[in-house]
Amino acid sequence: MSPAFSASSTTDDVLEGVDLTGQRFLVTGVSAGLGVETTRTLLAHGASVVGTARDLVKADRALEPVREFIQPGASLEVIEVDLASLASVRRGADQLLERGDAFDVVIANAGVMACPYGTTKDGFETQFGTNHLGHFVFVNRIVPLIKSPGRIVLLSSAAHRRSDVSLEDPGFATTAYDPWMAYGRSKTANVLFGVALDSRLNEKGIRATALHPGGIQTELGRHVTPELIATMRAAATPAGAPQMQFKTVPQGAATTVWAACVAEPDAIGGRFLEDCNVASINETDSLGGVEAYALSPDTADALWTLSEQMVDETFAFNR
């Protein structure tokens, strides 16, 4: 069993005494916030990291302070992947496949949040297309590179509680667009993707899980005004409960590295995590937990089929 951690645990707390020498990690979205901190702490413990970013210049600038943490024999590299462009996603995946270097853990960290209505380069609603479909294609394409045993860690959010996915109208063609509903749909999709991946890859020794890092004020919230933050806090806090508190970035990335490096794989596979623990299914209007609809195997399979249809690509794994 791993040591007990909590909402206040940091990345350094979680990885204290952990040696990652010789292990390779892939982290999407390393140009800011949680991606940078996740990369820093993995490097500090001896791992090699391949990061992805839409803007390589921005990523290089953001990662400059963490290069000093690279241990002898380890490395840090960033490749270009724009999750809002399937052509870019496929180029990045193909680049990795051509090299053939294996990964111990893939961390799908990148994303956008509560942005105005828009579409990706392939015509998908921005949040669903970037947060879910981009990672759906990228992660599935590089599955052959993931070692056994290995792990896939998908960053979701407590915002999944705002909405289940819509299999009938994923692009808001007939539904009035709401940025938080769209974000919630995409974050539920992240959890369901984890459920589907875990069921397909478990027998290969690869476990997948999704998590809520906590409320953190990072660049992810660049579209969020102070008024929307107040609304978000109120919506996330049940009547009579203490107001939701923001985490620091090291606290926010702690659940990611706990899932990737410390937690027992059988305990987290196909589950939803928060505060460095497995979340319980939410049966009341409480602060925390996971909605049952986000863990539905039937919905996960239906979303997988829909996603394949939308991206016009099929991913077959032995069940």
* Domains in the chain, number: 1
318 lies in some domain:
no
pLDDT recorded at residue 225: 56
Q: Which uninterrupted H or E stretch holds 310? A: helix 297-311
Pairing of strands 277-278, 272-274: antiparallel
Number of H helices, E strands in the chain: 12, 8
Q: What is the pLDDT along the chain (319 residues), one digit of tens a residue?
A: 456 899 999 999 999 999 999 999 999 999 999 999 999 999 999 999 999 999 999 999 999 999 999 999 999 999 999 999 999 999 999 999 999 999 999 999 999 999 999 999 999 999 999 999 999 999 999 999 999 999 999 999 999 999 999 999 999 999 999 999 999 999 999 999 999 999 999 999 999 999 999 988 655 544 455 655 555 555 444 445 455 578 999 999 999 999 999 999 999 999 999 999 999 998 766 668 999 999 999 999 999 999 999 999 999 875 4
315 lies in some domain:
no
313 lies in some domain:
no
pLDDT recorded at residue 221: 46
260 lies in some domain:
yes
> Which one of 117, 177, 183, 293 is the catalytic residue?
177
Q: Which two tokens stand for residue 171?
A: 């692009």
4 lies in some domain:
no
45 lies in some domain:
yes
**Rounded distance between C-alpha atoms, residue 39 and residue 19, angstroms:** 15
pLDDT recorded at residue 228: 56
**Rounded distance between C-alpha atoms, residue 196 and residue 208, angstroms:** 9
pLDDT recorded at residue 2: 57
- CA angle, 297 as apex, 163 and 160 as ends, to 5°? 20
The 3-state secondary structure of 168-217, one letter per residue = CCCCCCCCCCCHHHHHHHHHHHHHHHHHHHHHHHHHHCEEEEEEECCCEC
Nearest to 251 by CA among 37, 40, 65: 37
5 lies in some domain:
no
Q: Is residue 111 within 8 Å of 27, Cβ to Cβ?
A: no
pLDDT recorded at residue 236: 47
Domain coverage including residue 153: 11-307
CATH number, position 22: 3.40.50.720
6 lies in some domain:
no
177 tagged catalytic? yes
